[in-house]
Structure 1
Amino acid sequence: MKRRRLYERAAAVIFALLLWQAASMILGQQLLLVSPVRVLLRLGALWLEPGFWQTLWFSFLRIEGGFFLGLFLGALLAVISSRSHLIETLLWPFLVAVKSVPVASFIIISLIWLSASGLSVFISFLMVFPIVYFNVLQGMKSTDGRMLQMAEIFQMPWRRQLFYIYLPQVRPFLFSACSTALGISWKAGIAAEVIGIPDGSIGERLYEAKVYLSTADLFAWTIVIVLLSVLFEKVFMKFMKWGFARLEKL
């Protein structure tokens, strides 16, 4: 079944590339729609350019740093809010504002307070935090009340309740939150770099490609972003599954 699904997805990718190539040939304007062949050739050349890996590392560290910060604080405050209605109420207006205000507005406002190099960390954190918070809080609140009553009767310590009652309940909510937040952190982080234009970032390279009308570079860097995002998500989600499996054996 897995092999068949892999073949189907590969066929879908090939079909999309053929459509792209056909559209590029029909249009006949490489500036408007560059062919996938030229994009792949440019992508291969990018790997050999000086500074390419430094650019990847610059953006990767900041965007994923914001993701991990949002994951940690979102989960921590969700656990605290599940135990304290006051904390949940105090956090509510800030979280609603973060969910409602457009990302571009946050980026421009944040440029008043932060340097361009630190902007993607903050914006990535800001997008991840409410996703993790609300999902973990929902998981905590949906815990079986009978299990909690049993834990109270047997005077189970809070730490053991967290590991053996809450964590199994929160797990699907946390997995869903991380899967969504990882993609959004990259979208928001790169958008912040394109607007803030920090030196040595992927956002700067995208901005330069737009200024110099280098469509092949624009598509090539976009593919790099997609590959980075997807690969890190796969690795991180596998690590999370391994971590939860280890916790269940304790």
Structure 2
Amino acid sequence: MQKVVKRVIPIVAWLLIWQLVAIIVHNKILLAGPFETVKALAALAGTSEFWTSVGETTGRILLGFLVGSVIGILLSYAAYKNSVIEDFLKPIVITLKSVPVASFVILLLIWFGNKGISTVICAMVVFPILYMNTLEGLKSTDVKLLEMAKVFRMPGDRAVRFIYLPQLKPFWKSAFKLAIGMSFKSGIAAEVIGQPLHTIGNGLYLSKVYLETGELFAWTIVVVLIAFVCEKLLNIVLEFVL
């Protein structure tokens, strides 16, 4: 109960501050308050287009997250085994980590159009995060344990389970937590720029066009809630698997 209270009180306090600022501004276009936002969210939730957009965006972003994670983990293992591969991948990893998402979005729009753009962008954002963390975890593995496994001819699957996975667990937990949040940030940004129909990004853009600040906040709350739920589910899966 104390934990719940500690979490609820700050949220309530910030909602009150938000409402107070909205009253002071007294302009729904500049700043919609919590009540206007809830009304807008309820109105959106009553339409089939809203649920279609939520499903489309969530599915595409999670697919990009999965693809980027798998590629990052596999290539990090290859780089761990062969330094030539690590050196070869280093420039692309630095590039993906440093170049703004908007630059990649514009390039992809020119090359392929806006279909599936959020999936590709999410994969590109997630890949360096999982690659670097996994590689760092592998390099931090106790050499003595690996030598012992080699001496006693421990099967590869048991070495992975009892040596590598415990070592990688803290690296993966932090990497996945960061990656899932970055996936939704980058994926939604890609949709806002690319404007694929029936997506959350398209809903955000239309809210801006029609100066519906309440809807803008409503869509934002939806994104935060989806990302929060996905992060909690991912933590449960990681605890179960690892």
Q: Quote how far apart the aligned CAs of 1:123 are.
A: 0.4
Corresponding residue for residue 168 of structure 1: 166
Q: Sequence identity, in percent?
A: 42
Which amino acid in the other structure matches residue 191 of structure 2? E
The residue matched to 1:117 in structure 2 has which SS? coil
Q: Which runs of 5+ in 2 are unaligned?
A: none
Detail structure 1 runs of 4+ shifted over 6 Å in the superposition. none
Q: Distance in 1 between matches of 2:89 and 2:111?
A: 22
The residue matched to 1:45 in structure 2 has which SS? helix
Corresponding residue for residue 150 of structure 1: 148
Q: Quote how far apart the aligned CAs of 1:224 are.
A: 0.5
The residue matched to 2:109 in structure 1 has which SS? helix
Do the aligned partners of 1:75 and 1:132 also contact (CA within 8 Å) in 2?
Answer: yes
Corresponding residue for residue 52 of structure 1: 50
Q: Distance in 2 between matches of 1:53 and 1:30?
A: 25
Is 1:6 matched with 2:17? no
Of 225, 228, 234, 1:227 maps to: 225
Which amino acid in the other structure matches residue 168 of structure 2? V
Q: Distance in 1 between matches of 2:111 and 2:180?
A: 25
The residue matched to 1:199 in structure 2 has which SS? coil
Superposed CA deviations along residues 149-189 of structure 1, whole A, max 9, x for unmatched, are 11121122333322221111011101110000000000000
Greater relative contact order, per chain length (Cα 8 Å cut-off, separation 6+): 2
TM-score normalised over the length of structure 2: 0.97
Q: Distance in 2 between matches of 1:59 and 1:114?
A: 18
The residue matched to 2:48 in structure 1 has which SS? coil
Report the aligned-residue RMSD.
1.0
Q: Distance in 2 between matches of 1:86 and 1:156?
A: 27
Of 110, 113, 125, 2:111 maps to: 113
Is 1:180 matched with 2:178? yes
TM-score normalised over the length of structure 1: 0.94
Count of matched residue positions in the alignment of Structure 1 and Structure 2: 242
Which amino acid in the other structure matches residue 104 of structure 1? A
Which amino acid in the other structure matches residue 76 of structure 1? L
Q: Distance in 2 between matches of 1:242 and 1:157?
A: 22
Q: Which runs of 5+ in 1 are unaligned?
A: 245-250
Q: Quote how far apart the aligned CAs of 1:119 are.
A: 0.5
Corresponding residue for residue 248 of structure 1: none
Do the aligned partners of 1:194 and 1:203 also contact (CA within 8 Å) in 2?
Answer: yes
Superposed CA deviations along residues 85-142 of structure 1, whole A, max 9, x for unmatched, are 1111110000001111111111111212223121100100011000001001101000
The residue matched to 1:51 in structure 2 has which SS? helix
Corresponding residue for residue 82 of structure 2: 84
Which amino acid in the other structure matches residue 143 of structure 2? G
Corresponding residue for residue 21 of structure 2: 23
